[in-house]
Amino acid sequence: MIAFDLECSEGHQFEGWFENHDSYEEQSKKKMISCPYCNKTRVRKILSPIKMKIGSESQSKAIEERIDYGRLAKEVVEYIKTNFEDLGSDFTKEALKIHYGVSEKRNIRGTASEDEEKVLKDEGIQFIKLPIPIDDKDKKN
């Protein structure tokens, strides 16, 4: 069995258990997975914590040594670039609009000053600060 963190088109997050990845894919294509909160069947996998303990400490250490953390970091960055709208310096303004229902709820990313971060925290808006490297193709001369 494998557990995936899932999110419906309305933004509800929940966990789903499947026999394997293929089982998830098959059920997803057939719209057999539905949100327990709103019954929507437009569901996608989201990033999940990946730490697991298997067997003895030496076995766990051997598995950990096989993880390519550089590749994993690149995959996380690619996921964020693909699935989050880049708002640049308008991030804080749009996060506030989403929080107060003025704009549609969606995944966004961008930049915020220390003062803007304080405003977001004071308003109860959760955010995560991640260093995203700039690709050569993303640089503007």
Q: What is the pLDDT of residues 89-137, one digit of tens each?
A: 999 999 999 999 999 999 999 999 999 999 999 999 999 888 877 665 5
Burial class (CB in 10 A: 0-12, 13-18, 19+), 6: buried
Strand partners for 44:
7
Q: What angle do helix axes 114-122 and 91-99 make, rounded to 10 degrees? A: 10
Q: What is the pTM of this model?
A: 0.50
- The dihedral over CA atoms of 50, 56, 58, 64, expressed in degrees to the nearest 10, equals -10
Distance CA 48, CA 91 (A): 24
What are 127-140's pLDDT values in tens digits?
Answer: 988 887 766 555 55
Q: Is the pLDDT of residue 50 over 70?
A: no
Question: Are the beta carbons of 6 and 14 closer than 8 angstroms?
Answer: yes
